[in-house]
Amino acid sequence: MRQGAGWQENPAKIARPPAFSTLAAKIEGMQSQENVIEIRNLSKVYRDFWGRKKVQAVKSLSLDVKRGEVFGLLGPNGSGKTTTIKMLLGLLFPTSGDITILGKKASDVEKNERIGYLPEESYLYRFLNADETLDFYGRLFKLSGEERAKRADELIKMVGLDQARRRQLKEYSKGMTRRIGLAQALINNPDLVLLDEPTSGLDPIGTREMKDLILRLKDEGKTVVLCSHQLADVQDVSDRIAVLFQGELKVLGEVDQLLELREKTEIRTGNLSDEAIEEVRQVLAKHGMTETSIQKPRADLEELFLRTVRESGERPGRRFTAEEMAATQPAASDGAETTTADSSGETGDAK
Ligand SMILES: Nc1ncnc2c1ncn2[C@@H]1O[C@H](COP(=O)(O)OP(=O)(O)OP(=O)(O)O)[C@@H](O)[C@H]1O
């Protein structure tokens, strides 16, 4: 009888067979592994000296970031992105709501050992060189001398600063400073990387390299959260995005799905003769598509810029004509035509 009452008083005491509890722990572990960040009803109010409400920077924000994805946090100036990142890191306390990050509370500083953070402005020691900088940060994470040297060497090469590794940071350009900032953020080989404006101040080459680095981190299985105003860059690397406006979540979803133009169809093919184009128009008209746009697709300006820089290195002193550049464009080299048809019968915009 006493035993029975005890069971009722504290059901948690009921012993489960070991196999079941191991399995349950495994399933629990798998579930919490799925989301690296869980934000629930998060709000942040900045108060003035007298404790009066000054700004509500974040309002009832709820979202998840999944393991292994690149997640873009967007929004105009003052929309609460940096405040959110600082709360994730435990640098700011939320006014209300919950954050679970890598299975721990945001206030648990231990979790920061598995997080890399590139702030909008890197505060690095100007009189140290790249090796010394990474050695310094490696010590903060209590890495051994051997590990520090190995990791610093790998990271300096990865961010393309091998040639400049012995120069003091005060001599670095903005782009080089951003790269050593990224190397510093990765010194602890983090599972989660938070990047605030990773491409700010970078030229198109530096930007492309930074984007490649972000994709490489993803390939290595890391989760990346980035804040940026460079929307094309975010579009290039992110799997999902969230858009904040005045602290509120306005849009959340997969980039591909959010940007898909569902009412249009684009067909890309090799170069077509005028006759063939006319026939295509007739076929489309038979299907009710009377307003159709058929035109040469264009490469983007980033592609053209990078090609100009590459070719200028190979052929110094040479100026390239528009025809030469167009002839080497990858999209144009296969003579591709783009056809866009709109189900409403309106003229489509071909890329
Ligand atoms: N320490 C602070 N004290 C008072 N208000 C603050 C503080 N930090 C930020 N704010 C305010 O909170 C709001 C959100 O700021 P936050 O820096 O998070 O925006 P953001 O989206 O990162 O902006 P940006 O794109 O300009 O970096 C803004 O109105 C800002 O003025």
Spans of all domains in the chain: 35-259, 264-342
Query: Residue 214 above 70 pLDDT?
Result: yes
Query: Residue 5 above 50 pLDDT?
Result: no
Q: Is the CB of 351 under 6 A from ligand 1?
A: no
| Percent of the chain surpassing pLDDT 70 | 85
Ligand 1: residue whose CA is nearest its atom 26: 77
Q: Is the CB of 92 under 6 A from ligand 1?
A: no
pLDDT for residue 11: 36
Query: Residue 30 above 80 pLDDT?
Result: no
CA of 246 to the centre of ligand 1 (A): 10
Average pLDDT over residues 303-311: 79
Ligand 1: residue whose CA is nearest its atom 24: 77
Asked if 129 and 167 count as a contact pair (C-beta separation under 8 A), the reply is yes
CA of 80 to the centre of ligand 1 (A): 6
Q: Is the CB of 82 under 6 A from ligand 1?
A: yes
pLDDT for residue 344: 52
pLDDT band at 14; cut points 50, 70, 90: very low
Longest dimension (CA), the chain: 97
Q: Write the single-letter amino acid at 186.
A: L
Ligand 1: residue whose CA is nearest its atom 3: 46
Q: Which residues of 148-173 are buried (b: 16+ CB within 10 A; e: fewer)?
A: beebbeebbebbbbeebbeeebeebe
pLDDT for residue 328: 60
d(CA 166, CA 33): 40
**Which of 47-61, 62-76, 241-255, 265-279 is predicted with the least confidence, judged by mean pLDDT?**
47-61
pLDDT band at 304; cut points 50, 70, 90: confident
pLDDT for residue 122: 76
Q: Which is more confidently placed, 333 or 175? A: 175
CA of 34 to the centre of ligand 1 (A): 30
**Which of 29-38, 130-139, 175-184, 246-255 is predicted with the least confidence, judged by mean pLDDT?**
29-38
pLDDT for residue 338: 76
Which residues, including other chains, have CB under 8 Å from residue 154's CB and lie 6 or more apart?
A: none
Query: Residue 350 above 50 pLDDT?
Result: no
Query: Residue 18 above 70 pLDDT?
Result: no
pLDDT for residue 323: 74
d(CA 186, CA 254): 26
Average pLDDT over residues 331-341: 63
Query: Residue 289 above 90 pLDDT?
Result: no
pLDDT for residue 47: 87
pTM of the entire structure?
0.79
Phi-psi region of 291 (alpha: psi -120 to 50; beta: other; left: phi over 0): beta
CA of 84 to the centre of ligand 1 (A): 10
pLDDT band at 337; cut points 50, 70, 90: confident
Average pLDDT over residues 37-43: 96
Q: Ligand 1: which atom is nearest the Cα of residue 58?
A: 14
Query: Residue 27 above 60 pLDDT?
Result: no
CA of 72 to the centre of ligand 1 (A): 18
CATH homologous superfamily for the domain 35-259:
P-loop containing nucleotide triphosphate hydrolases (3.40.50.300)
Q: Which residues of 331-344 are buried (b: 16+ CB within 10 A; e: fewer)?
A: bbeeebbbbbbbee
Q: Is the CB of 83 under 6 A from ligand 1?
A: yes
pLDDT band at 342; cut points 50, 70, 90: low
d(CA 6, CA 1): 9
pLDDT band at 329; cut points 50, 70, 90: low
Average pLDDT over residues 29-42: 77
CA of 276 to the centre of ligand 1 (A): 57
Q: What is the pLDDT of residues 77-114, one digit of tens each?
A: 999 999 999 999 999 999 999 999 999 999 888 888 89
**Mutational pocket test of ligand 1: of 48, 55, 92, the residue with most ligand atoms within 8 Å of the beta carbon:** 55
| Percent of the chain surpassing pLDDT 90 | 50
Ligand 1: residue whose CA is nearest its atom 25: 77
CA of 249 to the centre of ligand 1 (A): 15
Q: Is the CB of 77 under 6 A from ligand 1?
A: yes
pLDDT band at 292; cut points 50, 70, 90: confident
List the beta strands (DSSP E) in 202-291.
Answer: 223-227, 240-245, 248-254, 264-269
Q: Is the CB of 58 under 6 A from ligand 1?
A: no
Mean pLDDT of the chain: 83
Ligand 1: residue whose CA is nearest its atom 20: 78
Q: Is the CB of 46 under 6 A from ligand 1?
A: yes
d(CA 140, CA 36): 24
pLDDT for residue 335: 60
**CA within 13 Å, CB half, 88:** 30
